[in-house]
Structure 1
Amino acid sequence: MSLTIELVEHAPATGHALPDDMGRALAASRVVDATPDPYTPGHWMLRAGSKVGAVAVTAPGGGSVVLRVTPKVPIPRLFFLLGYSLNPAGNWRDGQVELAEHRDLLPALAHAVERQIDRALRRGLLQGYRTTEESSLVVRGRIREAEQIRRRFGSALPVEVTYDEYTTDIAENRILRAAVERLLRLPAVPHEVRRRLQHQRRRLADVSPLVRGHLVPAWFPNRLNSRYHPALRLARVVLDGSSAEHTAGSLHVDGFLFDMNRLFEDFVTVAMREALSGSGLTGRLQDPHHLDEAAEIRMRPDFVAYGPDGVPIAVADAKYKAQKRDGYPDADLYQMLAYCTALGLPEGHLVYAKGNAPHAAHRVRHAGTVIHQHALDLDQDPAGLLADVAAVTQQMCTASLTL
């Protein structure tokens, strides 16, 4: 049995005929909310949350269910949010990332990554120096004397050496290969895109694969690897994306997911920081603070603006989805009040993706603290969206600066 189920993020739950073991596997993966339908045996109620992408549940006998969760944000807009968060200086709003006509997230991502890797490799694989430590029968580079004594106990051979080798087997190429291989394992990648990804894997065949479970090697942007920058940033998205890969009993669950909550938070906070550029103020993301005087209760507001003297002047939190049907959730207000109290600020700001509630402001009784709730319309052109974020940032900091 092969079945494809289409869901939309945060849409009402719908019923689907599923074997119980596959339903339990989806429930355990926490990709979606999955519960047995109490009225229809053999059916499960599925509801998507903020995670979007594609997941495949495969049984040992070959049966599979592919679950696709579509974002409410248009795919080109989602890639703008993603690209701007990674590199505000890039020309993401001008179509640097090619999406072709793919309407689903995973095919669009796979196509974009393959096109950027192809562009990066057109002049051949990048080469660079890599430090290698190994046991050798000949002296090459520098002898690691401490390691030689510890491991060889006075023996002359082999020799523990370290040397710099000029090679294509460097972090940048290893990251690209890992992203290609990750995409080739995922469901819902179109055949033509998969064929081109296989071609890129052959071009990177002499590069060492990353070991699963190990940290992705670090790379640092410079003039020499500038042609790799867009491809590496998208590869990072693939490798850092929320993976649903695990085994549930005899079933295998594999997929790739974006967390829209995190994506929205990253975009808003990066855009706020950019809006302060050149103003004399500093914006910090996820800066640690404490609620209590004993510094035992930690808190990390999404965004804090600091004046030239290093004193906090504004605080904001980004919330992608308002959970209440009739407006903003009260819990967010309590959280922001705690931030304002600990930072000694008279106002706090909550920024939501536009839903069913307009801008609101609440003055807290006996405290005088004002908490603002803003709504950003994501379904508009990038320039308008960035202008809206800049306007919110200006309102936050208006007492200290006119942006």
Structure 2
Amino acid sequence: MHDDLAAAITREGIAQVVPLGGGLWQVSNVKRVGAVRLDGWEVRVEPKVPIRNLFHLLARGKSWGDWWPDDLKLDDSSDFSTVIAEAFLSHAARALRGGVLHGYVEQREAAQTIRGRILMAEQIRRRTGVLLPVELQWDDFTADIAVNQLLRSATRRLIGAGRLRDRVRSGLLRLDLALAEASLLTRGARLPEVVWDRRSERYRSAVALAQLVLTNGSLDHRVGETTAKGFLLTLSKVFEEFVEAEVARAAAPWGGRIVAQERASLDVEGRIRIAPDLVWRDSSGPRAVFDAKYKAEKPSGFPNADVFQMIVYCIRLGLDTGHLIYAAGNEVPARYEIRNAGVTVVCHALRLDAPPAAISAQVDQIISGAAMSE
């Protein structure tokens, strides 16, 4: 590894890389997994979480359900970015088995011949006294609709994202050709919203993967002299979304509702703002508070920052117990009874290498404990 590559890995937020001397480097604080090409070097970061379990976290966190087909090979020897490409290709091909979906899209233009409806107000405003061109509006039955735009843009992003098996690359190229009528989305622009109906339902899982590829997982840019291109997934975000979905599921039988990122002021003047990850509320008020932390925050001088933060949440919400939920291996279970505050902070550690049902059972136990401790 050379200095520029180490700096690029750190700058992209993949991990912290520092030289140890003698050609050795220390890699720590890994935050993202996947594959990325940095100025000709291919960097691959494999997750500690088994690949099948990582897909389970994604599916639950993004409300996909058990979306993958039985014929998709999810073994622990596969790297994540390769599996993403294969999964996307499998679902997109399945969505297009019934043909490329078409829909009606409103079009407007100034034309020499009349079709559709004349926009009289626009004609008068823009072309008073001029007969041609005419301001027109009509509905075009086209494949250039949101679902196809998402699929084609994700296809292009994956083709350029890194090393792919020949079978997958060929499949993606065929997919791009089949969707040739769909426009490519502008990088960095907000993704189009999809209105689901009976006709578009077959696209749902493919679109979910496309949105993943096009948002928090994708890299394709230049910073200074470094070009970054690939697919990286931020583990902390995946974990937080998973915990939110699982806490809401586990709390449902107990009643109330889970509020995410509830904003409140800590001081009377409203100058200090707080936003706990999850607040469990019912008709009587706050019932419990949870913060999801993939890794413990330990800034210099504040090794217990997460605990301090949770104490503040409990005091503000009038609760005597707060819950920190970590990934096992990054923190250990603990219980802190805070002097002179009447607050207890409970740290939980989810074993993410367990079978999906066992992971859900761990969350059930956390919620049950929170409900019974009221």
Task: Calculate the TM-score normalised by the size of structure 2.
Answer: 0.90
Once the two structures are superposed, the pairs formed by residues 57-96 of structure 1 within 5 Å of their partners are 57-58=38-39, 64-87=40-63, 90-92=65-67
Trace 1:2-401 onto structure 2 (pairs within 5 A).
16=1, 18=2, 20-35=3-18, 37=19, 39-40=21-22, 45-47=26-28, 49-58=30-39, 64-87=40-63, 90-92=65-67, 98-99=72-73, 101=75, 103-309=78-284, 311-322=285-296, 329-355=303-329, 358-398=332-372
Whole-angstrom distance in 2 between the partners of 1:367 and 1:355: 29
Cα displacement (A) at 1:214? 2.1
* Residues 170-202 of structure 1: per-residue CA shift (max 9 Å, x gap): 101111111111101101322221111111111
CA root-mean-square deviation = 2.4
Residues 325, 350 of structure 2: 8 Å contact kept: yes
SS in structure 2 of the partner of residue 210 of structure 1: coil
How far off its partner does 1:251 sit? 3.7
CA deviations 1:186-232 (Å, max 9, x no partner) are 01322221111111111111111112232211103332211111111
Question: Alpha-carbon deviation of 1:300?
Answer: 1.8
CA distance in 1 between counterparts of 2:263 and 2:114 reads 49
Say which SS state the counterpart of residue 267 (structure 1) adopts.
helix
SS at match of 1:166: strand
Q: 1:246 to 1:44 in 2, by over 3 A?
A: farther
1:134-191, Cα deviation, whole Å (9 max, x unpaired): 2233344444444434433553322333332222211011111111111011013222
Q: Give the match for residue 4 of structure 1.
A: none
> C-alpha separation between the residues in 2 aligned to 1:99 and 1:133?
46
Amino acid corresponding to residue 123 of structure 2 in structure 1? Q
- Shift of the 218–154 alpha-carbon distance from structure 1 to 2, 3 Å rule, reads farther
Which residue identity is paired with 1:86? K
For structure 2, list consecutive stretches of 5 or more residues without a partner in the other structure.
none
* Distance in 2, Cα, partners of 1:133 & 1:272: 47
In structure 2, C-alpha distance between the alignment counterparts of 1:364 and 1:192, rounded to whole Å? 58
Contact 1:106 1:188 in 2 (8 A): no
SS of structure 1 residue aligned to 2:21:
coil
Which residue identity does 1:49 align to in structure 2? Answer: V
Contact kept in structure 1, 2:266 and 2:274, CA below 8 Å: yes
Q: What per-residue deviation string (whole Å, max 9, x for no partner) do you get for residues 339-382 of structure 1?
A: 11222222110001112654322122111011111111111111
Q: Distance in 1 between matches of 2:332 and 2:227?
A: 44
Matched residue SS, 1:98? coil
The DSSP-based 3-state class of the residue aligned with 1:219 is: coil
Q: Number of aligned pairs?
A: 370
Q: 1:146 to 1:278 in 2, by over 3 A?
A: farther
Q: Structure 2 CA distance, aligned partners of 1:220 and 1:299?
A: 34
Task: Using the TM superposition, name which of 148-157 and 269-278 deviates more.
Answer: 148-157
Normalising to structure 1: TM-score of the pair? 0.84
Shift of 1:25: 3.3
How has the CA–CA distance of structure 1 residues 343 and 151 changed in structure 2, closer, same or farther, with 3 Å as cutoff? farther
CA distance in 2, matches of 1:250, 1:47: 24
| Residue 54 to residue 150, structure 1, CA distance change in 2 (3 Å) | farther
Matched residues in 1 for 2:358 and 2:228: separation? 40
Q: Deviations over 1:242-271 (max 9, x none)?
A: 444322444422121111001011001111
Name which of structure 1's ranges 344-353 and 44-53 shifts more when overlaid on structure 2.
44-53
| 3-state SS of 1:276 partner | helix
The answer to whether the 8 A contact 1:28-1:248 is kept is: no
Instruction: Tell whether the 8 Å contact from 1:322 to 1:355 is kept in structure 2 after alignment.
Output: no
What is the distance in 1 between the residues matched to 2:313 and 2:71? 37
Distance 1:274 1:144 in 2: 50
Whether the 8 Å CA contact 1:333–1:371 is kept in 2: the answer is yes
Partner Cα separation in structure 2 for residue 65 and residue 211 of structure 1: 26
Residue identity in the other structure for 2:191: V
